[in-house]
Amino acid sequence: MEETYLLNVEGVKKKILHGGRGELPKLQDGSKFTFHFQTLKDDFERTVIDDSREAGVPMEIIVGKMFKLEIWETLLSSMRIGEVAEFWCDIIHTGMYALVSRGMRRIAEGRDPLEGQKHRCGMGNMFDYHSTGYDDLDELQRTPQPLIFIMELFRVEDPSAYKRDTWAMSKEEKLAAVPVLHSEGNRLVLRREFAQAAAKYQEAVICLRNLQAKEKPWEDDWLKLESLVTPLVLNYCQCQLELGEYYEVLEHTTELLQKHNDNAKAYFKRAKAHAAVWNEREAREDFQRVAHLDPSMAAAVKKELKQLGERMRKKHVEDRKRYQGLFQSSQG
């Protein structure tokens, strides 16, 4: 016979649907829960709002990292591994659900969950948005209500047992991770594994950008972090050049040069990307800036300009032949 357990938390009821195994997991800051969940309305039909199994990927949250729906940490803490439980939660615990669900749905759709709400507190964003972009979530915002969560807990991992996602790291952990990621990227470049190396550089940049977001732009601490970001972005761009992702290089070098317009290496990489996509004038201008800013790179610039000239001449010949062929066929 099913039994209803009342947690020692106001506005929460728990019903165990399938017993778990072992003792309750011992938790600490940084422990990671992995679980599937269903969210239902407390109506006659028990209308399903979200189901993580439909996305095909279990949910993960980190203990102590201020997940917007704080009650979930409490619910999961009451479960054993392998347990399936149903929780009824009153309105006092479900007010943020629409915002949380919006983020999860956007991730499942391959979109940025924070688009349009960066650097804002969650509650402020909730009141700012007239629409979440989802009709059922808009209804939840307009009429807050109790919700039912059905959860299946798969595992609980200590912080040392899994690779920490960047967002889950503390400031000290992020700073410690950067040189490790930088070194791993360099090692992968030597093995010509450019895609994997780019991912390492990108992860290191994300760590530093997250830290920079908490500092005042152009003040000492921000500048120290920026000095670490710049070589990582340049390394990332070099990998993208090797991979033929030229527009990616144009985007990141241009962004870098908006802040540091005297960086010869950034101009050099942007010039190579311009040359690769046949932007001859822009490529020549950037190469000339390189030679002006760093005379030691003059020989490399001269070589690149010679190659650019040869490529452009060859392209003009091929274009002329193509146009002549088109003209002749139209005449015939």
The 10s digit of each residue's pLDDT in 61-97 is 888 765 678 899 999 999 999 999 999 999 999 988 9
Q: Which fold has domain 12-157?
A: Chitinase A; domain 3 (3.10.50)
What percent of the chain is predicted at pLDDT more than 90?
A: 49
Q: What is the CATH number of domain 171-312?
A: 1.25.40.10
What are 28-39's pLDDT values in tens digits? Answer: 877 889 999 999
DSSP assignment, residue 21?
B
Helices (H), 26-134: 52-55, 70-77, 91-94, 97-108, 122-128
pLDDT tens digits, one per residue of 3-26? 677 778 889 999 999 999 988 988
Query: Tell me: the pLDDT tens digits for 187-216?
Result: 999 999 999 999 999 989 988 988 888 888
CA distance 59 to 223: 36
- Residue 301's pLDDT band, with cuts at 50, 70 and 90, is very high
pLDDT tens-digit profile of 252-300? 999 999 999 999 999 999 999 999 998 999 999 999 999 999 999 999 9
Q: Are 76 and 35 in contact (CB under 8 A)?
A: yes
Indicate the SS3 state at residue 111: coil
Cα–Cα nearest to 155, from 32, 320, 265, 7? 32
The domain limits of the chain are 12-157, 171-312
Task: Give the CA count within 13 Å in the CB-facing half-sphere of 16.
Answer: 15
Task: Reply yes or no on whether the pLDDT at 329 is more than 70.
Answer: no
Q: Is the dihedral of CA 60, 66, 69, 73 positive or negative?
A: positive
Beta bridge partners of 37: 151
CA gyration radius, the chain: 27
* Distance of alpha carbon 72 from alpha carbon 94, whole angstroms: 10
Average pLDDT, the chain: 84
d(CA 246, CA 242): 9
**Helix or strand run (H / E) with residue 164:** none
Q: Which comes out higher in pLDDT, residue 105 or 328? A: 105
Q: How far is the C-alpha of 179 from the C-alpha of 198, rounded, in Å? A: 14
| Residue 126 pLDDT exceeds 70 | no
* pLDDT for the residue numbered 252: 93
